[in-house]
Amino acid sequence: NHNHNHNHHFRHADSTASLPSSAVAKISHLKAVVLGDAPASEEDDVVLPSHEFSRQALVPSQQKYLEMYKASIENPAGFWSGIASSEFYWKQGWGDQVYSENLDVRRGNIKIEWFKGGITNVCYNCLDRNIDAGLADKIALYWESNEPGFDATLTYSQLLQRVCQLANYLKSVGVRKGDAVVVYLPMLMELPITMLACTRIGAVHSVVFAGFSSESLAQRIVDCKPKVVITCNAVKRGPKTIFLKDIVDAALIDSANKGISVDVCLTYENQLALKREKTKWKEGRDIWWEDVVPKYPTSCDVEWVDAEDPLFLLYTSGSTGKPKGVLHTTGGYMVYTATTFKYAFDYKDSDVYWCTADCGWITGHSYVTYGPMLNGATILLYEGAPNYPDPGRCWDIVDKYKVTIFYTAPTLYVTRYSRKSLRVLGSVGEPINPSAWRWFFNVVGGSRCPISDTWWQTETGGFMITPLPGAWPQKPGSATFPFFGVQPVIVDEKGVELDGECSGYLCVKSSWPGAFRTLYGDHERYETTYFKPFPGYYFTGDGCSRDKDGYHWLTGRVDDVINVSGHRIGTAEVESALVSHPQCAEAAVVGVEHQVKGQGIYAFVTPVEGISYSEELRKSLILTVRTQIGAFAAPDKIHWAPALPKTRSGKIMRRILRKIAARQLDELGDTSTLADPGVVDQLIKLADT
Ligand code: ATP
Ligand code: MG
C-alpha cells in the first residue's frame, strides 16, 4: 500500500523548470528501477513488466519511452505532424504552422489550434481508409445484447454501408455541415453508426447518455438546438425495461416550451425491448429508423472539413456541478485519440478490444468509437448491465469473444477470477487504489497483464498520464508518466511550479492535439474555469503528487481535498488506507464541517461480504488510517454503507455523499444518473447507527 504522504511538503522548482524541456529534464534523471530488487519502501512497491510482454511491445523499454517523449516535447510540431501525415488521410495538408496556441489569459484570449487548414474527415479515416487498406471483411463491431444469446456483428464494409445510409437520410431531412444532432441512444450498434454518420457529413453530434432525465436532455437540446434527435423506443438493462422514447417525448415538450422545437425525432425500434405498436407516437415528428434509413443508398460522399471544424459536443458528467458543453474539433482529436489508443493499450491488429464505458461518456467517444476504429480495431459493444443475469456475465463475454484488451472503471462490479485471453487491462474514471490495483492485476489479469491506469478528462480528449504497457515498471495505484506531448506540472496555491517529490494542483503546460477548444457557447466560462486559476497553465481541477521516482499519483479532485486543521488530505488517500483493511470492501470519504478542525473526515464504508458492522471493526478501521497516514487523517465518523451511490459510468457521486454527511437531505439534487437510486435511501436509514 502506498503511503505517499507528502501533502504538506511543497518543494519549489529551480529556475530552469520553466524551460520548455523541463518536463523531459524532470523525468530523465529517474533512476531505473533495478530488475528483481526487493522494494526498499512502500513507495518502491513496483510491478515489473514481464519480458515476454516487453519483447513484443510497441514501446519495449523506458529508454524508448524517454526517447520518444523527449522528441515530442522538444519538437511537438515535428512529432505530431509526422504521425498525422503518415497515419491518416488528409485531402489537403495544413499550412506551415502545425499548431498555434495561447494558454495564458494575460496574453489575451485562450486559443488552441492544431493542423489548421488541413482538410480531412474522421469518418473517412475510421472506415474508408481502413477498408482501402484491406480491412473490408475484418469485424469492426461485435454487439452483445443484454439478453445472453442475442448478438450481432458488422464488418468494416458493412459498417460503412450502414453509416452511409443514415448519413444520406440525415442529409435528406436537411442536416448540413455544422448542424447539431442530439443522440439519446443506449449501447446499440446504432449508436456508433450515428456518431460516424454525423461525422461523415460534418454534422456535430451531441450524445446524451441514455440514463439522463428528461430535464437534463431538454437542457442539452435547448443548448445546441439540433435539427434532429435520434433515439430508440426502449432498452433493457438487466431485468428492467427503460422507455427511452417517453423520456425524449417529455424532453421535447420541455424544450419546445423554452422556444426550441425539433422537427424530426428518428426512433429506432429496439424489438428486443419493445414493439413499435406499444410506443407512443407523434405523427409528423416521429419517424421509425427501420422505415426510412435502409431505403437510402449504401454509399455517401464525404464532407471534407477543416481540422479545426467542430467534431462533437459532449457535456462533462457533472459530478461536481452544472455540466459543461465540451467542444472537440476534428484533426487534433483524431490524431490524438488514435495515437493514445495505440500506445496505451499496445494495440495489435489481432486484438479484440472491450471498453465497458457507454458511448454517452467521453470514454465511449474516444475509446469505444474513434480511437479504436481509427486503428481498424475489432470492438465489442455490450448493451447491458455488467452483473446481469449473474455476476459472471463480464467474464462470459470476455471468454465468448476472446477479449484481449479490457478497459473498465475501477468501481465496476466484477467477480473474481482470471481470463486467459486477456493481455492488457485498463482503468479509468477514479483513482484506482493500490489494493484494487493488486486485485485487478492478480485476480483478473492472472498476474500477467499490465494495467494501463489512464488519467484523463472529457476536456483532454484522450489519455494524459498513463503507463505504456511493457515500457515501465508499474507502481500499483500510480498513473505513472505523461503521454507523448503532454507536460504535466504540479503547482502550489500560488501557481508556483513544484519540483521533485511534491504534491499540489495538477496543471498542464502547452497544448496537446486532443485538447478541447472551448465550452460551447461560453468561451468565457472556458477561460475562467480552466485557465484563470493558474495563469499560463491548463488547470485540471485534480490534485496530484509526484514521488521521488517521478511517478504521478492522482489524489482526486481538488474540491475533494479535505482541510483538517490546516492539513490538506486527499480523500483518495484516506480511502486507500481504509480499503487496505482486509474487512473493508469499499470506502468513500468526504469532508464535513467541524467546529474545532474546520473540516472533519467522514467515511462511508462497505465491509466485505459476510462481515457485519461492529464497534470493533470501526475502531480497527480508524486505527488503520492512523497508522498508515497519521492521526490527523483519522475519520471522525464511519457511516456503514451496504453500497455506495455510483453513476452508471462507475463514479462515486460524492456530491450526494457530502449532502448525506451534512444531513442536508432535502438538497440531494438530481439522482437520475445513479445506477441504483435506492442506495441513497439505504444510506439515509443507516445514518445514525
Ligand atoms: P465534472 O467535471 O462535470 O464534475 P467529471 O470530472 O467526473 O465531471 P470526466 O471528464 O468524465 O467528468 O472525468 C474526469 C475526472 O475523472 C478527472 O478529472 C479525475 O478526477 C477522474 N479520473 C479519470 N481517470 C482517472 C484516473 N485514472 N485516476 C484518477 N482519477 C481519474
Ligand atoms: Mg471534470
Q: How many residues does the chain have?
A: 689
Q: What's the pTM value of the predicted model, to 2 decimals?
A: 0.85
CA–CA–CA angle 485, 487, 488 (5° rounding): 140
Q: What is the pLDDT of residue 435?
A: 85
Residues of the chain with pLDDT under 70: 1-44, 317-322, 411-418
- Residue 613's identity, in one-letter code, is Y
3-state secondary structure 205-242: EEECCCCCCHHHHHHHHHHHCCCEEEEECCEEECCEEE
**Ligand 1, atom 29, residue with closest C-alpha:** 431
Q: What is the pLDDT of residue 17?
A: 28
Q: What is the pLDDT of residue 318?
A: 60
3-state secondary structure 106-127: HHCCCEEEECCCCEECHHHHHC
Q: What is 154-207 written as a DSSP string?
A: EEHHHHHHHHHHHHHHHHHTT--TT-EEEEE--SSTHHHHHHHHHHHTT-EEEE
Catalytic residue among 492, 559, 636, 670: 559
Query: Distance of CA 5 to CAs 41, 58, 496, 546, Å?
Result: 13, 34, 20, 11
Q: What is 257-313 written as a DSSP string?
A: HTT---SEEEEE--TTT--GGGS---TTTEEEHHHHGGGS-S------EETTSEEEE
**Ligand 1, atom 27, residue with closest C-alpha:** 455
Q: Which residues line ligand 1 (CB under 6 A)?
A: 316-320, 323, 361-362, 428-431, 453-458, 479, 540-542, 554, 557, 651
The beta-carbon contacts of 152-159 under 8 Å, at least 24 apart in sequence, are 152/189, 154/189, 156/127, 156/130, 156/131, 156/376, 157/131, 159/127, 159/193, 159/196
- Residue 265's identity, in one-letter code, is C
Instruction: Locate 637 and state its grid cell.
Output: 465518523
Report pLDDT digits (tens) over 339-350: 999 999 999 999
Q: Which of 648, 645, 673, 675 is nearest to 661 (CA)?
A: 645
What's the 559 CA to ligand 2 centre distance in angstroms?
11
Q: What is the pLDDT of residue 32?
A: 35
**Ligand 1, atom 23, residue with closest C-alpha:** 429
What's the 316 CA to ligand 2 centre distance in angstroms?
6
Ligand nearest to the CA of 575: 1
Distance, CA of 228 to CA of 238 (rounded, Å): 29
Q: CB under 8 Å to 509, separation ≥6 — which residues?
A: 23, 103, 487, 488, 489, 536, 537, 538
**Ligand 1, atom 14, residue with closest C-alpha:** 457
Task: Tell me which of 316, 538, 544, 558 to substitute to probe ligand 1's pocket, judged by most ligand atoms within 8 Å of the beta carbon.
Answer: 316
Indicate the SS3 state at residue 488: strand
β-sheet bridge partners, residue 236: 241
Ligand nearest to the CA of 361: 1
Task: Tell me which of 208, 212, 425, 430 to substitute to probe ligand 1's pocket, judged by most ligand atoms within 8 Å of the beta carbon.
Answer: 430
Q: What is the pLDDT of residue 414?
A: 56
Distance, CA of 33 to CA of 654 (rounded, Å): 36
Ligand nearest to the CA of 321: 1
Positive or negative, the CA dihedral 432, 435, 436, 438 is positive
Instruction: Locate 534 and state its grid cell.
Output: 493558474
485 and 76 in contact (C-beta within 8 Å)? yes
15 class by beta-carbon count within 10 Å (0-12 exposed, 13-18 middle, 19+ buried) = exposed
Mean pLDDT, the chain, integer: 90
Indicate the SS3 state at residue 615: helix
Q: What is the pLDDT of residue 14?
A: 31
Q: How many angstroms separate the first and last alpha carbons of the chain?
A: 30
Task: Tell me which of 411, 455, 652, 655 to substitute to probe ligand 1's pocket, judged by most ligand atoms within 8 Å of the beta carbon.
Answer: 455
The DSSP letter of residue 388 is S
Q: Which residue has the cell 437510402?
A: 296
Distance, CA of 249 to CA of 160 (rounded, Å): 30
Q: Torsions phi, psi of 325, nearest 5?
A: -80, 90
Q: Which of 307, 329, 653 is nearest to 459 (CA)?
A: 329
ipTM, two decimals, is 0.99
390 in catalytic set: no
Q: What is the pLDDT of residue 412?
A: 61
What's the 404 CA to ligand 2 centre distance in angstroms?
29
Report pLDDT digits (tens) over 32-43: 333 334 444 445
130 and 376 in contact (C-beta within 8 Å)? yes
Indicate the SS3 state at residue 576: helix
Query: Distance of CA 632 to CAs 232, 543, 565, 577, Å?
Result: 52, 19, 8, 13
Indicate the SS3 state at residue 424: strand
What's the 571 CA to ligand 1 centre distance in angstroms?
14
**Ligand 1, atom 13, residue with closest C-alpha:** 457
Q: CB under 8 Å to 559, separation ≥6 — which residues?
A: 320, 541
Q: What is the pLDDT of residue 411?
A: 64
198 and 179 in contact (C-beta within 8 Å)? no
Query: Distance of CA 512 to CAs 115, 255, 324, 498, Å?
Result: 12, 36, 20, 21
Q: Torsions phi, psi of 225, nearest 5?
A: 50, 65
Positive or negative, the CA dihedral 488, 493, 494, 496 is negative
Q: CB under 8 Å to 98, separation ≥6 — which residues?
A: 76, 77, 78, 80, 81, 114, 115
Q: Which of 411, 362, 412 is nearest to 384 (CA)?
A: 412
